[in-house]
Amino acid sequence: MFNKLPKIERNLRNDNPEAKHIKKQKRKKTLLILLGLLVAWGLINLCITLIFSRMIPHHYASAQEGRDLMLSNTEYYDNLTQNDLDYRMHKSGATKEEFLKVSGESVSDFYFFEKWYLNSRLARMMLHCKLKGYDFPEVNEIVFIKADMEMESGASGYTHGTQIYLNGGQITIYALMNIFPGFSEFMDKTLYHELFHCLTRSNPQFRTDMYSLIHFTVTDTEYELPPCVLERFISNPDVEHHNSYATFLIDGEPIDCYTAYTTTKSYAEAKSSFMSNSATVLVPIDGSDVYYTREQASNYDEVFGTNTGYVTDPEECMADNFAYAMLYGMKGSDGKGYPNPEIIQGIIDYLSSTIPSA
Protein backbone atom coordinates (compact mmCIF):
# COMPACT_ATOMS: atom_id res chain seq x y z
CA MET A 1 0.00 0.00 0.00
CA PHE A 2 2.77 2.38 0.93
CA ASN A 3 4.67 1.36 -2.22
CA LYS A 4 1.83 2.72 -4.41
CA LEU A 5 2.05 6.25 -3.15
CA PRO A 6 5.00 7.30 -5.32
CA LYS A 7 3.21 5.84 -8.40
CA ILE A 8 0.06 7.87 -7.66
CA GLU A 9 2.19 10.94 -7.28
CA ARG A 10 3.87 10.24 -10.63
CA ASN A 11 0.43 9.70 -12.19
CA LEU A 12 -0.68 13.02 -10.86
CA ARG A 13 2.38 14.65 -12.36
CA ASN A 14 1.57 12.91 -15.69
CA ASP A 15 5.08 11.62 -16.17
CA ASN A 16 4.05 7.98 -15.96
CA PRO A 17 4.24 6.29 -19.42
CA GLU A 18 0.91 4.49 -18.84
CA ALA A 19 -0.86 7.70 -17.91
CA LYS A 20 0.67 9.44 -20.90
CA HIS A 21 -0.66 6.71 -23.18
CA ILE A 22 -4.18 6.94 -21.72
CA LYS A 23 -4.12 10.71 -22.11
CA LYS A 24 -2.96 10.39 -25.72
CA GLN A 25 -5.74 7.91 -26.47
CA LYS A 26 -8.31 10.24 -24.94
CA ARG A 27 -7.04 13.15 -27.03
CA LYS A 28 -7.19 11.00 -30.16
CA LYS A 29 -10.75 9.95 -29.35
CA THR A 30 -11.84 13.57 -28.82
CA LEU A 31 -10.26 14.59 -32.10
CA LEU A 32 -11.99 11.73 -33.92
CA ILE A 33 -15.35 12.72 -32.41
CA LEU A 34 -14.82 16.34 -33.46
CA LEU A 35 -13.81 15.26 -36.95
CA GLY A 36 -16.87 13.00 -37.15
CA LEU A 37 -19.14 15.85 -36.07
CA LEU A 38 -17.52 18.14 -38.63
CA VAL A 39 -18.02 15.60 -41.42
CA ALA A 40 -21.64 15.00 -40.32
CA TRP A 41 -22.27 18.77 -40.24
CA GLY A 42 -20.73 19.08 -43.71
CA LEU A 43 -22.84 16.23 -45.07
CA ILE A 44 -26.05 17.65 -43.57
CA ASN A 45 -25.23 21.03 -45.11
CA LEU A 46 -24.46 19.40 -48.44
CA CYS A 47 -27.79 17.54 -48.44
CA ILE A 48 -29.76 20.65 -47.38
CA THR A 49 -28.07 22.71 -50.11
CA LEU A 50 -28.60 20.11 -52.81
CA ILE A 51 -32.24 19.39 -51.92
CA PHE A 52 -33.61 22.81 -50.96
CA SER A 53 -31.76 25.06 -53.42
CA ARG A 54 -33.56 23.16 -56.21
CA MET A 55 -36.91 24.38 -54.92
CA ILE A 56 -36.17 27.60 -56.80
CA PRO A 57 -35.55 26.71 -60.44
CA HIS A 58 -32.36 28.53 -61.36
CA HIS A 59 -28.99 28.43 -62.99
CA TYR A 60 -25.88 30.61 -63.12
CA ALA A 61 -25.08 32.28 -66.42
CA SER A 62 -21.59 32.26 -67.85
CA ALA A 63 -20.25 35.71 -68.76
CA GLN A 64 -21.25 35.12 -72.39
CA GLU A 65 -24.80 33.93 -71.60
CA GLY A 66 -25.22 36.78 -69.10
CA ARG A 67 -24.08 39.33 -71.66
CA ASP A 68 -26.44 37.92 -74.31
CA LEU A 69 -29.36 37.91 -71.89
CA MET A 70 -28.61 41.40 -70.68
CA LEU A 71 -28.52 42.81 -74.21
CA SER A 72 -31.68 40.92 -75.16
CA ASN A 73 -33.71 43.30 -72.94
CA THR A 74 -34.07 45.62 -75.90
CA GLU A 75 -37.40 47.14 -74.83
CA TYR A 76 -35.80 48.39 -71.63
CA TYR A 77 -32.73 49.84 -73.36
CA ASP A 78 -34.78 51.41 -76.17
CA ASN A 79 -36.83 53.31 -73.62
CA LEU A 80 -33.90 54.78 -71.69
CA THR A 81 -34.07 58.55 -71.58
CA GLN A 82 -31.14 60.89 -72.17
CA ASN A 83 -31.27 61.58 -68.45
CA ASP A 84 -30.89 57.82 -67.79
CA LEU A 85 -27.90 57.56 -70.09
CA ASP A 86 -26.14 60.65 -68.76
CA TYR A 87 -26.45 59.68 -65.12
CA ARG A 88 -25.46 56.07 -65.74
CA MET A 89 -22.47 56.98 -67.90
CA HIS A 90 -21.50 59.92 -65.67
CA LYS A 91 -21.34 62.36 -68.56
CA SER A 92 -23.61 64.62 -70.60
CA GLY A 93 -24.69 63.50 -74.05
CA ALA A 94 -24.00 59.78 -73.48
CA THR A 95 -25.33 57.40 -76.13
CA LYS A 96 -27.20 54.13 -75.88
CA GLU A 97 -24.40 52.36 -77.79
CA GLU A 98 -21.81 53.50 -75.26
CA PHE A 99 -24.03 52.37 -72.44
CA LEU A 100 -24.65 48.94 -73.98
CA LYS A 101 -20.93 48.42 -74.56
CA VAL A 102 -20.01 49.22 -70.94
CA SER A 103 -22.97 47.22 -69.60
CA GLY A 104 -21.97 44.13 -71.60
CA GLU A 105 -18.39 44.40 -70.36
CA SER A 106 -19.57 44.54 -66.75
CA VAL A 107 -20.74 40.89 -66.82
CA SER A 108 -18.35 38.18 -65.64
CA ASP A 109 -18.23 34.46 -64.78
CA PHE A 110 -19.14 33.21 -61.31
CA TYR A 111 -16.43 31.39 -59.40
CA PHE A 112 -17.39 27.90 -58.25
CA PHE A 113 -17.36 28.91 -54.57
CA GLU A 114 -19.72 31.82 -55.30
CA LYS A 115 -22.26 29.50 -56.94
CA TRP A 116 -21.99 27.11 -54.02
CA TYR A 117 -22.43 29.98 -51.56
CA LEU A 118 -25.52 31.32 -53.35
CA ASN A 119 -26.98 27.81 -53.51
CA SER A 120 -26.44 27.38 -49.78
CA ARG A 121 -28.20 30.71 -49.08
CA LEU A 122 -31.14 29.82 -51.36
CA ALA A 123 -31.40 26.42 -49.67
CA ARG A 124 -31.48 27.96 -46.21
CA MET A 125 -34.12 30.47 -47.32
CA MET A 126 -36.31 27.71 -48.75
CA LEU A 127 -35.83 25.45 -45.72
CA HIS A 128 -36.80 28.34 -43.44
CA CYS A 129 -39.96 29.01 -45.47
CA LYS A 130 -40.88 25.30 -45.51
CA LEU A 131 -40.51 25.11 -41.73
CA LYS A 132 -42.73 28.19 -41.40
CA GLY A 133 -45.33 26.62 -43.70
CA TYR A 134 -45.01 29.26 -46.45
CA ASP A 135 -45.81 28.37 -50.03
CA PHE A 136 -44.29 30.53 -52.72
CA PRO A 137 -46.18 31.09 -55.94
CA GLU A 138 -44.52 29.32 -58.86
CA VAL A 139 -41.67 31.16 -60.46
CA ASN A 140 -40.22 30.86 -63.97
CA GLU A 141 -36.60 29.76 -64.13
CA ILE A 142 -34.29 32.35 -62.61
CA VAL A 143 -30.93 33.10 -64.19
CA PHE A 144 -28.30 34.59 -61.91
CA ILE A 145 -25.89 36.93 -63.67
CA LYS A 146 -22.77 38.37 -62.08
CA ALA A 147 -22.11 41.98 -62.99
CA ASP A 148 -20.48 45.02 -61.53
CA MET A 149 -23.01 47.68 -60.56
CA GLU A 150 -21.11 50.73 -61.71
CA MET A 151 -24.01 51.68 -63.96
CA GLU A 152 -26.59 51.17 -61.19
CA SER A 153 -24.91 53.30 -58.51
CA GLY A 154 -23.36 50.29 -56.77
CA ALA A 155 -26.68 48.50 -56.12
CA SER A 156 -26.55 45.00 -54.60
CA GLY A 157 -28.74 43.62 -57.33
CA TYR A 158 -31.38 44.32 -59.93
CA THR A 159 -33.60 42.33 -62.23
CA HIS A 160 -34.90 42.05 -65.77
CA GLY A 161 -37.79 39.58 -65.97
CA THR A 162 -36.45 36.59 -64.03
CA GLN A 163 -32.82 37.49 -64.65
CA ILE A 164 -31.23 38.47 -61.33
CA TYR A 165 -28.07 40.55 -61.66
CA LEU A 166 -25.90 40.42 -58.56
CA ASN A 167 -23.09 42.71 -57.53
CA GLY A 168 -19.97 40.68 -58.33
CA GLY A 169 -17.72 42.31 -55.74
CA GLN A 170 -20.26 41.78 -52.97
CA ILE A 171 -20.83 38.10 -53.77
CA THR A 172 -17.11 37.35 -53.54
CA ILE A 173 -16.79 39.08 -50.17
CA TYR A 174 -19.94 37.52 -48.71
CA ALA A 175 -19.01 34.05 -49.95
CA LEU A 176 -15.56 34.31 -48.35
CA MET A 177 -16.85 35.79 -45.09
CA ASN A 178 -19.72 33.34 -44.70
CA ILE A 179 -17.89 31.53 -41.89
CA PHE A 180 -18.93 34.35 -39.55
CA PRO A 181 -22.43 33.76 -38.15
CA GLY A 182 -25.01 36.30 -39.31
CA PHE A 183 -22.70 37.76 -41.93
CA SER A 184 -24.98 36.71 -44.79
CA GLU A 185 -28.10 38.49 -43.51
CA PHE A 186 -27.63 41.31 -46.02
CA MET A 187 -27.17 38.86 -48.89
CA ASP A 188 -30.32 36.97 -47.84
CA LYS A 189 -32.25 40.23 -47.81
CA THR A 190 -30.98 41.03 -51.30
CA LEU A 191 -31.95 37.58 -52.57
CA TYR A 192 -35.47 37.78 -51.07
CA HIS A 193 -35.89 41.29 -52.48
CA GLU A 194 -34.86 40.28 -56.01
CA LEU A 195 -36.86 37.05 -55.75
CA PHE A 196 -39.96 39.13 -55.06
CA HIS A 197 -39.54 40.90 -58.42
CA CYS A 198 -39.31 37.51 -60.17
CA LEU A 199 -42.42 36.29 -58.34
CA THR A 200 -44.51 39.32 -59.33
CA ARG A 201 -43.49 38.85 -62.98
CA SER A 202 -44.27 35.16 -62.95
CA ASN A 203 -47.61 35.68 -61.18
CA PRO A 204 -49.67 38.77 -62.05
CA GLN A 205 -52.27 37.90 -59.40
CA PHE A 206 -49.57 37.73 -56.73
CA ARG A 207 -48.44 41.20 -57.81
CA THR A 208 -52.00 42.56 -57.60
CA ASP A 209 -52.54 41.02 -54.17
CA MET A 210 -49.21 42.25 -52.80
CA TYR A 211 -49.72 45.81 -54.06
CA SER A 212 -53.17 45.90 -52.47
CA LEU A 213 -51.47 45.60 -49.06
CA ILE A 214 -50.19 49.15 -49.59
CA HIS A 215 -53.41 50.45 -51.16
CA PHE A 216 -52.28 50.24 -54.80
CA THR A 217 -54.62 49.00 -57.51
CA VAL A 218 -53.13 47.30 -60.57
CA THR A 219 -54.93 48.13 -63.81
CA ASP A 220 -54.77 46.99 -67.45
CA THR A 221 -53.67 50.48 -68.48
CA GLU A 222 -49.98 51.27 -68.93
CA TYR A 223 -49.69 54.96 -68.03
CA GLU A 224 -47.61 57.13 -70.31
CA LEU A 225 -45.19 59.48 -68.55
CA PRO A 226 -46.04 63.14 -69.30
CA PRO A 227 -43.29 65.36 -70.80
CA CYS A 228 -42.56 67.17 -67.52
CA VAL A 229 -41.72 63.84 -65.86
CA LEU A 230 -40.05 62.16 -68.83
CA GLU A 231 -37.39 64.87 -68.96
CA ARG A 232 -36.00 63.88 -65.53
CA PHE A 233 -37.12 60.25 -65.47
CA ILE A 234 -34.75 57.53 -64.25
CA SER A 235 -35.57 53.99 -65.37
CA ASN A 236 -35.47 51.22 -62.81
CA PRO A 237 -35.09 47.70 -64.26
CA ASP A 238 -36.99 46.33 -61.23
CA VAL A 239 -40.03 48.42 -62.16
CA GLU A 240 -41.39 47.11 -65.44
CA HIS A 241 -44.78 48.82 -65.37
CA HIS A 242 -46.50 52.04 -64.54
CA ASN A 243 -49.94 50.53 -64.31
CA SER A 244 -50.88 50.77 -60.66
CA TYR A 245 -52.17 53.70 -58.68
CA ALA A 246 -53.19 54.77 -55.21
CA THR A 247 -55.23 57.73 -54.01
CA PHE A 248 -53.07 60.51 -52.59
CA LEU A 249 -54.31 63.60 -50.79
CA ILE A 250 -52.82 66.56 -52.64
CA ASP A 251 -53.60 69.79 -50.82
CA GLY A 252 -56.51 67.98 -49.25
CA GLU A 253 -57.90 66.74 -52.56
CA PRO A 254 -57.92 62.99 -53.36
CA ILE A 255 -56.09 62.34 -56.65
CA ASP A 256 -55.34 58.92 -58.16
CA CYS A 257 -51.61 58.85 -58.95
CA TYR A 258 -48.88 56.43 -59.95
CA THR A 259 -45.26 56.89 -58.95
CA ALA A 260 -42.23 57.76 -61.08
CA TYR A 261 -38.60 57.99 -60.12
CA THR A 262 -36.89 61.18 -61.26
CA THR A 263 -33.85 63.35 -60.68
CA THR A 264 -34.17 66.87 -59.41
CA LYS A 265 -31.46 68.18 -61.76
CA SER A 266 -29.94 67.19 -65.07
CA TYR A 267 -26.58 65.41 -64.94
CA ALA A 268 -24.87 68.53 -66.33
CA GLU A 269 -26.12 70.46 -63.29
CA ALA A 270 -25.70 67.75 -60.65
CA LYS A 271 -22.48 66.01 -61.76
CA SER A 272 -23.05 63.21 -59.24
CA SER A 273 -24.96 59.94 -58.92
CA PHE A 274 -28.71 59.85 -59.43
CA MET A 275 -29.06 58.38 -55.94
CA SER A 276 -28.07 61.70 -54.41
CA ASN A 277 -30.36 63.72 -56.71
CA SER A 278 -33.41 61.52 -56.87
CA ALA A 279 -37.02 62.11 -55.98
CA THR A 280 -40.13 60.01 -56.25
CA VAL A 281 -42.96 61.98 -57.80
CA LEU A 282 -46.68 61.32 -58.02
CA VAL A 283 -48.21 61.49 -61.48
CA PRO A 284 -51.98 61.76 -61.92
CA ILE A 285 -53.44 58.89 -63.96
CA ASP A 286 -55.67 61.28 -65.92
CA GLY A 287 -52.76 62.11 -68.25
CA SER A 288 -52.29 65.77 -67.30
CA ASP A 289 -48.77 67.14 -67.68
CA VAL A 290 -48.12 67.73 -63.99
CA TYR A 291 -46.61 65.89 -61.08
CA TYR A 292 -46.75 66.24 -57.32
CA THR A 293 -43.91 65.88 -54.88
CA ARG A 294 -43.94 63.50 -51.97
CA GLU A 295 -44.23 66.49 -49.61
CA GLN A 296 -47.44 67.61 -51.31
CA ALA A 297 -49.18 64.32 -50.47
CA SER A 298 -50.27 64.44 -46.83
CA ASN A 299 -51.04 60.68 -46.78
CA TYR A 300 -47.85 59.47 -48.52
CA ASP A 301 -46.64 57.51 -45.48
CA GLU A 302 -50.10 56.16 -44.79
CA VAL A 303 -50.25 54.74 -48.31
CA PHE A 304 -46.80 53.12 -48.41
CA GLY A 305 -46.37 52.53 -44.70
CA THR A 306 -43.00 53.22 -43.12
CA ASN A 307 -41.52 49.74 -42.69
CA THR A 308 -38.98 50.66 -45.36
CA GLY A 309 -37.65 53.94 -46.67
CA TYR A 310 -37.33 52.48 -50.15
CA VAL A 311 -40.66 53.70 -51.50
CA THR A 312 -39.82 54.79 -55.03
CA ASP A 313 -42.51 52.45 -56.39
CA PRO A 314 -44.98 49.93 -54.93
CA GLU A 315 -42.82 47.17 -56.47
CA GLU A 316 -39.75 48.25 -54.48
CA CYS A 317 -41.68 48.98 -51.30
CA MET A 318 -43.27 45.52 -51.33
CA ALA A 319 -40.00 43.79 -52.27
CA ASP A 320 -38.45 45.18 -49.08
CA ASN A 321 -41.50 44.29 -46.99
CA PHE A 322 -41.42 40.78 -48.44
CA ALA A 323 -37.74 40.40 -47.51
CA TYR A 324 -38.44 41.57 -43.94
CA ALA A 325 -41.41 39.22 -43.59
CA MET A 326 -39.33 36.25 -44.74
CA LEU A 327 -36.19 37.12 -42.79
CA TYR A 328 -37.57 38.42 -39.52
CA GLY A 329 -41.25 37.44 -39.39
CA MET A 330 -43.53 39.58 -37.24
CA LYS A 331 -40.77 40.28 -34.71
CA GLY A 332 -38.76 42.52 -37.03
CA SER A 333 -34.99 42.72 -37.22
CA ASP A 334 -34.64 44.12 -33.69
CA GLY A 335 -37.45 42.16 -32.07
CA LYS A 336 -39.59 45.30 -31.75
CA GLY A 337 -41.92 44.67 -34.68
CA TYR A 338 -42.74 47.22 -37.40
CA PRO A 339 -44.43 50.62 -37.70
CA ASN A 340 -46.90 48.93 -40.07
CA PRO A 341 -47.19 45.28 -38.96
CA GLU A 342 -50.35 44.79 -41.04
CA ILE A 343 -48.26 44.76 -44.25
CA ILE A 344 -45.95 42.02 -42.93
CA GLN A 345 -48.93 40.09 -41.54
CA GLY A 346 -50.65 40.34 -44.93
CA ILE A 347 -47.63 38.79 -46.68
CA ILE A 348 -47.33 36.00 -44.11
CA ASP A 349 -51.07 35.25 -44.25
CA TYR A 350 -50.92 35.14 -48.05
CA LEU A 351 -48.02 32.69 -48.17
CA SER A 352 -49.54 30.59 -45.40
CA SER A 353 -52.81 30.14 -47.28
CA THR A 354 -53.48 28.38 -50.56
CA ILE A 355 -51.81 30.33 -53.33
CA PRO A 356 -54.03 31.03 -56.33
CA SER A 357 -52.42 29.55 -59.46
CA ALA A 358 -50.82 31.98 -61.95
Q: Which residues bind Zn ion (CB under 5 A)?
A: 238, 316, 319
User: d(Cα 322, Cα 309) in Å, to the nearest integer?
Assistant: 14
Tell me if residue 244 falls in helix, strand or coil: strand
Residue 236 sits at the vertex; the CA angle it makes with 304 and 312, to the nearest 5 degrees, is 20
DSSP 44-73: HHHHHHHHHGGGS-EEE--HHHHHHHHHT-
Distance between alpha carbon 300 and the CA centroid of its chain, in Å? Answer: 24
Pick between residue 89 and residue 319 the one whose CB is nearest to Zn ion: 319
Pick between residue 114 and residue 316 the one whose CB is nearest to Zn ion: 316
User: d(Cα 127, Cα 137) in Å, to the nearest integer?
Assistant: 16
Q: How far is the CB of 88 from Zn ion (least distance, A)?
A: 17
Pick between residue 84 and residue 316 the one whose CB is nearest to Zn ion: 316
Pick between residue 146 and residue 197 the one whose CB is nearest to Zn ion: 197
C-beta nearest to Zn ion: residue = 238
- Among 358, 278, 289, 287, smallest CA distance to 312 is for 278
User: d(Cα 302, Cα 134) in Å, to the nearest integer?
Assistant: 27
Pick between residue 86 and residue 316 the one whose CB is nearest to Zn ion: 316
Q: How far is the CB of 117 from Zn ion (least distance, A)?
A: 21
Q: How far is the CB of 316 from Zn ion (least distance, A)?
A: 5
Q: How far is the CB of 221 from Zn ion (least distance, A)?
A: 23
Are 262 and 279 in contact, with CB atoms under 8 Å apart?
yes
Q: How far is the CB of 255 from Zn ion (least distance, A)?
A: 26
